[in-house]
Each structure stands twice: as structure tokens, then as C-alpha cells.
Structure 1
């Protein structure tokens, strides 16, 4: 005697929060503080390195993992990759200060920054395709791309006069990223678009 097997399809609702504000907060705060060293407000010290690790690194990696679990391949890839960038940047500083590795040569730093610029440019192209309504996210990736290229040029050529320009661009990147984070939070809290561009 054959029994009838009834298939039941269950749908699971995703009630987890949008991780993007956390990721943009990590990027924004870290970029602003690092960029202030480029414009000469204060030197690169343990405050900047700590922010790079705990906000730039951990916040973006946490956001990337959460985005990945939500099925968002772009945000998952971007936040994880750039979070790991901050860890690697902190590693470059810490390894040298502990005497565990030689300081990076200017050309190797130029190559490091240039390849991150290329990666960012490809991700920028992705924002033009997928973020048609989010000019702020496009602005963040554009200024990040420009920053990497400027820093690569500075390291390759020794044109330190460009450092202030890189710092200004980094500040634009950081504040744009913070705007994106806070706009997403406010729009969700108010349940309507109160902050434009997102």
C-alpha cells in the first residue's frame, strides 16, 4: 500500500537588519581619521591604527558576513574585502614597528595601493549598474578609487605635495560613507525617505 506524501513548502522570512550602515560607518570613521593625518592635523599613531583594526576592519567584515548571509554578493564581497584591506594596512604598520618585517618600499606600497585602486574601479562599475538610485554609494566608490590612485602615485613618484589633495579626497570619501550609513538608519527608523541619495 502506497501512502501519499504531501510536500510542504515553507518560506522563512529574513528579519535580520540591513548590515550596510555598519559597514559604511566602519569605512567612514576610519577614512576620516586616516585622512586627517594626510592633511597634517596629527601624525599617524595608535589611534588611527586602532580605528583601522576595530572599525575599518571588524565593522566591515561583520557587515560583509551579514550581507553574505542575506544573499547580497556585492555588499558581502565589498565589505569583507575592504574590511580585510584595513587589517592589512594596520598589519603593514604593526609588523614594521615590532621589527617583524622591513618597512614596505615606496614601490611595493605603490603596487599595493594601485591594485586596490583597480579592484575599487571594478566595484565602482558594479555600483553604476546596481545602485541606479544611490548616488551616495557611487560617490563613495568613486572617491575611494581616486584616493587609492593618488596614494599610489605619491608612493611611486615621491610627490608628497599631492598628500593634502589625497587627504581632502579621503575626507570626502569618509563623510560620504558616514552620510550613507546615517541616511540608511534614519530612512529605516522614519519608515520613509528623509535623507536623499540612498
Structure 2
């Protein structure tokens, strides 16, 4: 009777999945720009903003987070999933009271919500210092400032700061779009076309 031979094979699987960062920052950027323009006063927060919050801010970032997690990126997976879920919760804060499901949040409760997101963003900002991307670091600096401004506005009732918050959000959203589109162009050309 022949002895069974042990066969050892070494299989190397090359990761051919795409970089999820452009999708995540596109979702953040588009949703943030459109919401920020409402803070500046160009139009009210309506179904366009809520729809962008759900489908681009929410779904795009959660999908990007899952893709980043699959690629082994703890930062990307955590950041995109958490901030994608932020957009879903933001839409819920607007929709649930409008549908009569529950009362809207008190200003102090909303201030606490925004402050906590600001603290979370600050910790994520510290992590960006090790990523080596000035563009991503800038996004998190401006996002932190935005959350803190919105927390102060809701906590104090000082709505005069809302336009300033709108411009900070606009800068943050545009920087996220810059990063997303820069990643796409750099990948398409196979070299650094846009510094990130």
C-alpha cells in the first residue's frame, strides 16, 4: 500500500480590489458641501440634503469602510463606517420628528451629540498624523472644527456662528472632494498628478 504524500503548496493571493478612499471621501465631500451651503443660507435643509446624507454621506462611506476593512485598514474601515453611520443618524434626526415618530432633540442634547462627534473626530485626527497625507489630515482638522462650532451653536443658541460653520463645512467638504478626485486621477495616470 502506497504511503500518502504530504503536498505543501504556497498560495499567494494578490489583492486586486480598488482603493475605497475616493468613494468614501466623495460621499463625505458631496454631502458636506450641500449641507454647508444650507448653513450659509443658500437654501433650507430639505429632501435634497436628507437624500444626500443618506445615499452619499451614509451608504457611500459605509461601503467604503467595509471595503477598507476588507483590505486590512483599521483607520479607513473605522472612519468611513463611523462617519457614514453619522450621516444616517443625522438624517434620522431630521426625518423622525418630521414623520411624527418622536420629538426632535433639545438644543443641549444636539450640542452633546455634536460635541461627542467632535471628540471622536479629534482622536481620529491624531491617527491621521501617522498616515502621511496632509490632505486627509486637513479634512479631519476642519471636520473637528465644524463639529465643535456646531456644538457651540446648539449649546449656546448663538446662530450667528452658523454661517461661519457653513464656510468651515464647505472648506472641509471641498477638501474631501479634492482628496477623492486626486486619488482617482493619481490612480488613472499611475503617478502623482494631484498631491495628497
TM over 0.5: yes
The answer for unaligned runs of 5 or more in structure 1 is none
Deviations 1:51-97 (Å, cap 9, x if unpaired)?
Answer: 00000000000000111111111100000000000000000100000
For 1:178, the equivalent position in structure 2 comes to 177
DSSP-derived class of the 2:129 partner: helix
Corresponding position: 1:57 with 2:58: yes
For 2:85, the equivalent position in structure 1 comes to 84
Q: Please give the TM-score of this superposition, normalised by the length of structure 2.
A: 0.98
Shift of 1:9: 1.5
For 1:105, the equivalent position in structure 2 comes to 106
Once residues 74 and 3 of structure 2 are traced to their aligned partners in structure 1, the CA distance between those partners, rounded to angstroms, is: 44
For 1:191, the equivalent position in structure 2 comes to 190
* Structural RMSD (CA): 0.8
Deviations 1:113-156 (Å, cap 9, x if unpaired)?
Answer: 00000000000000012x22x11100000000000000000000
Once residues 33 and 144 of structure 1 are traced to their aligned partners in structure 2, the CA distance between those partners, rounded to angstroms, is: 15
Shift of 1:4: 3.4
Deviations 1:12-51 (Å, cap 9, x if unpaired)?
Answer: 1110110100000000000000000111010000000000
For 1:144, the equivalent position in structure 2 comes to 143
Once residues 10 and 112 of structure 2 are traced to their aligned partners in structure 1, the CA distance between those partners, rounded to angstroms, is: 51
Residue correspondences, number: 195
Corresponding position: 1:169 with 2:168: yes
Shift of 1:2: 4.7
| Stretch of structure 1 that moved more, 15-24 or 1-10 | 1-10
DSSP-derived class of the 1:63 partner: helix
For 1:5, the equivalent position in structure 2 comes to 6
For 1:121, the equivalent position in structure 2 comes to 122
Corresponding position: 1:47 with 2:48: yes
Once residues 9 and 127 of structure 1 are traced to their aligned partners in structure 2, the CA distance between those partners, rounded to angstroms, is: 35
The answer for unaligned runs of 5 or more in structure 2 is none
Q: What does 1:8-47 align with in structure 2 at a 5 Å threshold?
A: 8-47=9-48
